[in-house]
């Protein structure tokens, strides 16, 4: 029986394992040093905040793995020998494979800052990071202030987590507005306000020069590059992005770039070795996507696709329209298609932006200024129906059409106040149009005839 070994039990590896099991009877082994069972990385923050216990982050009950004949090995892979198809493990006997799937995810970026390896300096990615955070910042007497470096999704999550324990947080963002390498300025500005509403000391245009040590090798303070200001703190959170977790492959035959190099079939340069998820790097980026996509659902999709290939139906990784979501403290964010920030916008991309006069709600639509085809949408505090917007993107609908049918795309809970009429009236006045908003129509939404 063919033996499939998967390194990493995150969403990519586990999805591959589940689908291979559905399609075949092959022997499947998952090796992970991080945790005994698969858990949802995205939920780690809720454990620190007390919304959940760690076991709640595990999507499958413990008996699931045995029932589905997926063997779990709790060990660290030290070396991959592709000649002999052999894995050297720390914590378990060596393991032979017929096909190998590398799905080891990411690790936090460190950019060589002085002091980045002191006690009290950490990233937030793994279960071990969460445990370390409980040590470093159990409460506001042990951790009197935390400084977070890097204004992305993990940075704001870490800030939110620490604030639930009333730990004062200084949040250093290198850009002059939060996450404005991704978000257009109106949206980015709204999030800046919301961060400050949560009593987080947000420093824009501020980057780290160095982390200063106390006499015991722990963190004492950080020094800012721009002003030279020194901020005393007990915890430094490094959240300036992630990088593929592939150091254990450095002396193998597998071709590496920043990640494990793969083709569209998720195959590496070595036969029978594949890579999926955060650690995989496409030779060429797909569409507007990045060569390395460290996103939950792309890991899942790569797992679904590779399972087909492994089970005899060789298939390209071919993601559909881009989408994503996040939550910034209390504000939910969803995006479908592509909306670029001002500095990355292509020539033909135009934006329409609406923001609620009082509440923290806004929406940005990107469209082609010549054809008026919709390119993408960002919403904050308003939920959209994935299926409907995905369909509109496939059908290359114009912005007029989208505005007219905007109510069909709303996914807010029942009885919520809706803002489509305000949005459309601003659209009409901004662009000199006279669109009439249509009523929500179940037949259109569910595609019934």
Partner 1 sequence: MNSQTYHKSMALTGEPPKSLSISQKLAVLLGLSGLGILLLAVFNVNFPNKTLWLTLSLLAITVGIVWFSWDAYSKKIPGIKNDGVWFKSISSRGLWGWVAGLSLTGFYIVLYFYPEYLGLVNGGDNKGVIGLFDPLSKFLSGNLASQWFVYGTLYTVAILAFGIKFLWKYRHNRYERLRTWSVMFFQTAFAFIIPELMARLNGDKILDGGSLPYYDLKNIWPLNYYNFEGYRIKAFLSSGEIGFALLIFGILSIFVITPILTYKYGKRWYCSWVCGCGGLAETAGDSFRQLSDKSTFAWKVERWVVHSVVVFVTLMTTAVIYSYLGTDTSKYWLTKSTFLIGVAVLLTLVFGWAMIFKRDQLQKDAQYGAIGYFVIIIALIGFHFFSGDGQIFLFKSETLRKSYSFLIGSIFSGVIGTGFYPIFGSRVWCRFGCPMAAILGFQQKLFSRFRITTNGGQCISCGNCSVYCEMGIDVRAYAQKGENIVRSSCVGCGICSAVCPRGVLKLENGPLEGRIDSNQVLLGNDVDLMTLVNKK
Smallest distance from partner 1 to CB 77, Å? 18
Structure tokens, 426: 């601003």
Residues 216-255 contacting partner 1, CB under 8 A = none
Smallest distance from partner 1 to CB 387, Å? 5
Cβ neighbour number for residue 114 with a 10 Å cutoff: 13
Q: Which is nearer to partner 1, 296 or 427 (CB)?
A: 296
Within 245-360, strands assigned E span 260-262, 273-275, 280-282, 323-328, 331-337, 349-355
User: DSSP assignment, residue 38?
Assistant: -
Selection from 347, 352, 266, 262 nearest residue 306 by Cα: 266
Q: Which is nearer to partner 1, 327 or 438 (CB)?
A: 327
Q: Select from 42, 78, 371, 421 the one that contacts partner 1 (CB under 8 A).
A: 42
Q: Select from 84, 93, 166, 357 the one that contacts partner 1 (CB under 8 A).
A: 166
Q: Which is nearer to partner 1, 80 or 235 (CB)?
A: 235
Structure tokens, 47: 């454990």
Smallest distance from partner 1 to CB 309, Å? 11
Decide: residue 120, CB within 10 A, 0-12 exposed, 13-18 middle, 19+ buried: buried
Query: 3-state secondary structure string, 361-406?
Result: CEEEEEEECCCCEEEEEEEECCCECHHHHHHHHHCCCEHHHHHHCH
- Which among 124-132, 219-227, 234-242, 272-280 is the span making contact with partner 1, rule CB under 8 A? 124-132
Smallest distance from partner 1 to CB 2, Å? 21
Task: State the binding string over 11-40 for partner 1 (x if CB under 8 A, else -).
Answer: x-------x--x------------xx---x
Q: Select from 4, 48, 188, 340 the one that contacts partner 1 (CB under 8 A).
A: 48
- Which among 92-100, 135-143, 242-250, 346-354 is the span making contact with partner 1, rule CB under 8 A? 135-143
Smallest distance from partner 1 to CB 330, Å? 3
40 vs 391: CA distance, rounded Å: 29
Structure tokens, 35: 């945790």
Smallest distance from partner 1 to CB 360, Å? 9
Q: Which residue has the tokens 């393991």?
A: 95
Residues 365-384 contacting partner 1, CB under 8 A = 383-384
Q: Which is nearer to partner 1, 19 or 85 (CB)?
A: 19
Q: Which is nearer to partner 1, 175 or 189 (CB)?
A: 189
402 vs 253: CA distance, rounded Å: 50
Query: Parallel, antiparallel, or unpaired for β 169-173 and 146-149?
Result: parallel
Residues 93-112 contacting partner 1, CB under 8 A = none
Structure tokens, 80: 């991959």
Phi, psi of 345 (to 5 degrees): -60, 140
- Which among 214-222, 224-232, 431-439, 440-448 is the span making contact with partner 1, rule CB under 8 A? 440-448
Q: Which is nearer to partner 1, 401 or 411 (CB)?
A: 411
Distances (CA, A) of 227 to 145, 170, 206, 208, 358: 19, 15, 8, 10, 34
- Which among 145-153, 240-248, 269-277, 411-419 is the span making contact with partner 1, rule CB under 8 A? 411-419
Q: Select from 250, 343, 358, 417 the one that contacts partner 1 (CB under 8 A).
A: 417
Structure tokens, 190: 């709204």
Structure tokens, 53: 């216990």
Residues 272-331 contacting partner 1, CB under 8 A = 296-297, 300-301, 304-305, 308, 313, 315-321, 323, 325-327, 329-330
User: DSSP assignment, residue 56?
Assistant: G
Smallest distance from partner 1 to CB 340, Å? 20
User: DSSP assignment, residue 436?
Assistant: P
Distances (CA, A) of 280 to 44, 108, 289, 332: 23, 16, 13, 28
Smallest distance from partner 1 to CB 391, Å? 10
Task: State the binding string over 331-350 for partner 1 (x if CB under 8 A, else -).
Answer: -x-x----------------
Smallest distance from partner 1 to CB 231, Å? 22
Q: Select from 9, 57, 82, 106 the one that contacts partner 1 (CB under 8 A).
A: 57
Residues 182-201 contacting partner 1, CB under 8 A = 197-198
DSSP per residue, 101-161: EE---EEE-----TTTTSBTEE---SHHHHHHHHHH-SSTTT-S-EEEE--SHHHHHHHHH
The dihedral region occupied by 16, where left means phi > 0, alpha psi between -120 and 50, and beta the remainder, is alpha
Asked if 119 touches partner 1 (CB under 8 A), the answer is no
Asked if 135 touches partner 1 (CB under 8 A), the answer is yes
Number of residues that bind partner 1 (CB under 8 A): 77
Residues 381-410 contacting partner 1, CB under 8 A = 383-387, 390
Contacts of 425 (CB under 8 A, 6+ apart): none
Q: Which is nearer to partner 1, 115 or 381 (CB)?
A: 381
Smallest distance from partner 1 to CB 59, Å? 5
């Amino acid at each position: 029986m063919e033996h499939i070994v998967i390194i990493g039990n995150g969403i990519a590896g586990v999805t591959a394992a589940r689908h291979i099991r559905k399609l075949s009877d092959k022997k499947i082994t998952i090796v992970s040093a991080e945790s005994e069972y698969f858990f949802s990385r995205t939920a780690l923050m809720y454990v620190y905040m007390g919304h959940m216990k760690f076991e709640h982050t595990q999507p499958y009950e413990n008996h699931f793995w045995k029932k589905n004949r997926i063997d779990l090995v709790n060990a660290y892979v030290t070396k991959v020998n592709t000649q002999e198809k052999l894995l050297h493990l720390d914590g378990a006997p060596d393991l032979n494979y017929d096909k190998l799937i590398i799905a080891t995810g990411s690790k936090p970026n460190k950019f060589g800052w002085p002091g980045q390896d002191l006690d009290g300096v950490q990233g937030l990615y793994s279960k071990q990071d969460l445990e370390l955070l409980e040590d470093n910042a159990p409460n506001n007497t042990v951790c009197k202030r935390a400084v977070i470096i890097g204004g992305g999704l993990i940075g704001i999550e870490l800030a939110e987590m620490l604030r639930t324990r009333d730990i004062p947080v200084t949040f250093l963002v290198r850009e002059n507005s939060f996450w404005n390498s991704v978000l257009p300025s109106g949206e980015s500005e709204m999030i800046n306000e919301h961060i400050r509403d949560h009593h987080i000391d947000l420093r824009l245009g501020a980057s780290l020069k160095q982390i200063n040590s106390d006499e015991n090798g722990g963190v004492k303070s950080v020094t800012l590059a721009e002003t030279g200001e020194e901020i005393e703190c007990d915890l430094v959170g490094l959240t300036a992005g992630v990088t593929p977790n592939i150091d254990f492959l450095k002396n193998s035959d597998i071709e590496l770039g920043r990640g494990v190099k793969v083709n569209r079939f998720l195959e590496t340069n070595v036969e029978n070795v594949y890579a999926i998820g955060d650690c995989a790097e496409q030779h060429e980026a797909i569409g507007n996507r990045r060569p390395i996509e460290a996103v939950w659902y792309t890991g899942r999709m790569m797992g679904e696709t590779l399972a087909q290939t492994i089970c005899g139906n060789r298939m390209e990784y071919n993601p559909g329209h881009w989408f994503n979501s996040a939550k910034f403290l209390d504000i939910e964010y969803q995006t479908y298609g592509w909306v670029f920030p001002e500095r990355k916008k292509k020539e033909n991309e135009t934006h329409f932006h609406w923001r609620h006069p009082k509440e923290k709600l806004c929406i940005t639509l990107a469209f082609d200024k010549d054809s008026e085809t919709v390119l993408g949408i960002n919403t904050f505090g308003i939920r959209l129906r994935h299926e409907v917007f995905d369909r509109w993107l496939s059908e290359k609908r114009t912005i007029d059409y989208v505005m007219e049918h905007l109510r069909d795309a709303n996914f807010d809970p029942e009885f919520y106040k809706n803002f489509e009429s305000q949005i459309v009236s601003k659209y009409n006045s901004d662009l000199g149009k006279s669109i009439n908003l249509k009523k929500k129509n179940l037949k259109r939404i569910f595609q019934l005839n």
